[in-house]
Structure 1
Amino acid sequence: MSQYKEGPAAEENAAPAPQADTPHDLEPGTEIQQLQAELEKFRAESGENLDRFLRAKAEVENVRKRGEVDVSTARKYAIERFAAEIVAVRDSLELARMVELPKDTNPAVQKMHEGLDLTLKLLDSTFEKFGLTVVDPQGQKFNPEHHQAISMVDSAEVLPNHVVTVVQKGFLLNDRLLRPAMVVVARGATNPKDPAAQA
């Protein structure tokens, strides 16, 4: 007979007895329904994810296009502030050029006058390269988008609502108004004896 008794510890160390296979909790029909429900759930989630992806892709494309437009606009109108200042210089040169010189003027003064012509031509050529164009509407129909009327006068020579005098030329920068032309506009001659004018 053995001196040692098997105590409760020996029972704990013993391997557990194999359990019999447990049957599935669900019937085969119920399990198929559950799998189909899960499949539909995953399909719906994948559809939502695809929709989110397509929206994000479209948003990125829109941001890219807006960025391209912004960069293009910035390049096109980058000189706007500079151009607004330099047109005043052109105005001064043009005013100086309009001074009539007597025939017996000093040759040095005549050379300066010719220099003004050349400077204006060079300035206009530079303006053209950078998309800056002069608005000189003498005799044209008044256009409130490009002209600013400073007064109206009666005129028999100029049609009503047409420019009689250009006080200050305007400028466009790549088809955007930089400065409106300051103009005097014809009101049109009114004849009180004319029945059409009274109507």
Structure 2
Amino acid sequence: MADDVNTEENAADQMAADLQDAAAEAAGEIEALRAERDDLRDRLMRTLADSENARKRADRDRREAEQYGGSKLARDMLPVYDNLRRALDHATEDQKAVSGPLLEGVELTLRELLNVFTKHGITLIAPKVGETFDPKEHQAMFEAPVPGTKAGAIIEVMGEGFMLHDRLLRPAQVGVSSNPG
């Protein structure tokens, strides 16, 4: 009978050991599943962040393409403006009297071109003599000391510039005073 009790105790001890092993194995599996869950959650969050960044980048690129996509065409149209402006600026009073309607047509064409530019966000940079030189909008073609002016003042305007929204298409070409202060 003592052997039966020992056998039952050994069986109970074995069963308890098996249960502990099973519990330890289950705990290990739970930890492995938690680690896998955390890894998958981390990967999901990174993927969501990447897709959100890609969406924002695509949206920004689309907006820039809408605003600045025509900049090459706009740059190509600037010589047309220059030629029309030159034609009007160089017409003498005699030519205006003889070819008045023709020059009026050139002036109307120039005005319409400026209206189209404005409609598409292109603005004219027309500096005046005496204004301060701004390297963000002007290109200094020469520097000369001119009496009665301050250093950095515009002394001559040789060409107008243009902006497309907030980007410079072409700087205004100017001469700048180099008088020492």
- Give the alignment's TM-score, normalised by structure 1: 0.77
Matched, 1:35 2:26: yes
| Residues 73-115 of structure 1 deviation map (CA, whole Å, 9 limit, x = unaligned) | 11111111111111100000001111243358544x0111222
Runs of 4+ in 1 over 3 A off after TM superposition: 103-107
Matched, 1:60 2:51: yes
The aligned residue for residue 99 of structure 1 is: 90
Given candidates 96, 102, 110, the residue that maps to 1:120 is: 110
Flag the structure with higher helix content.
2
CA RMSD of aligned residues (A): 2.0
Matched, 1:153 2:144: yes
Given candidates 157, 173, 176, the residue that maps to 1:182 is: 173
Residues 104 and 93 from structure 1, CA distance in 2 versus in 1: closer, same or farther, beyond 3 angstroms? Answer: closer
- Give the alignment's TM-score, normalised by structure 2: 0.84
Given candidates 82, 89, 96, the residue that maps to 2:73 is: 82
Q: Structure 1 CA distance, aligned partners of 2:148 and 2:79?
A: 31
In structure 2, runs of 5+ residues without a counterpart are: 1-13
Larger Rg: 1
Q: Structure 2 CA distance, aligned partners of 1:104 and 1:115?
A: 14
In structure 1, runs of 5+ residues without a counterpart are: 1-22, 191-196
Q: Structure 2 CA distance, aligned partners of 1:104 and 1:133?
A: 30
Deviation at 1:155, TM superposition (A): 1.8
Residues 164-183 of structure 1: pairs in structure 2 closer than 5 A: 164-183=155-174
- Specify the SS of the correspondent of 1:151: strand
Alignment length, in residue pairs?
Answer: 167
Q: Quick check: 2:121–2:165 contact (8 Å CA) kept in 1? A: yes
The aligned residue for residue 140 of structure 1 is: 131
- Specify the SS of the correspondent of 2:93: coil
Percent identity over the alignment? 31
Residues 41 and 104 from structure 1, CA distance in 2 versus in 1: closer, same or farther, beyond 3 angstroms? Answer: closer
Deviation at 1:187, TM superposition (A): 1.0
Deviation at 1:159, TM superposition (A): 2.4
| Residues 129-166 of structure 1 deviation map (CA, whole Å, 9 limit, x = unaligned) | 00111111223211112211111112234322011111
The aligned residue for residue 3 of structure 2 is: none
Q: Structure 1 CA distance, aligned partners of 2:80 and 2:96?
A: 25
- Specify the SS of the correspondent of 1:27: helix
